[in-house]
Amino acid sequence: MAKEVTIYSTPVCHFCNAAKEYFKENNVEYAEHDVAADQEKRQEMIEMTGQMGVPVIRIGDDVVVGFDEAKVAELLAA
């Protein structure tokens, strides 16, 4: 069963766009939250990570801050 994937991002974030492109290229379904527009999701992200940096990618119970392609691939494969 595929893990649930969520990305917290902003429209102007280069690494956010790279992560979403990676998901599309690898047929990974994901939920996206624009933390620039959604204050509730921004607060959720800050509580989860303790910081404001994006992207924040949650794969199952694991959280990756930034777009670490190798770590994302590893978590998706696990």
| Domain range annotation of the chain | 5-77
User: Residue 46: pLDDT band by 50, 70, 90 thresholds?
Assistant: very high
Model confidence, pTM: 0.94
**2, 74 contact by CB (below 8 A):** no
Q: What is the mean pLDDT of residues 27-54?
A: 97
| CATH code, residues 5-77 | 3.40.30.10
Find the helix or strand (DSSP H, E) in which 40 lies. Answer: helix 39-49
Closest residue by Cα to residue 9 from 23, 24, 19: 19
**CA 34 → CA 1, 2, 12, 15, 24, distances in Å?**
26, 23, 10, 14, 17
Average pLDDT over all residues of the chain: 96
Q: What is the pLDDT of residue 37?
A: 97
Residue 50 scores a pLDDT above 90: yes
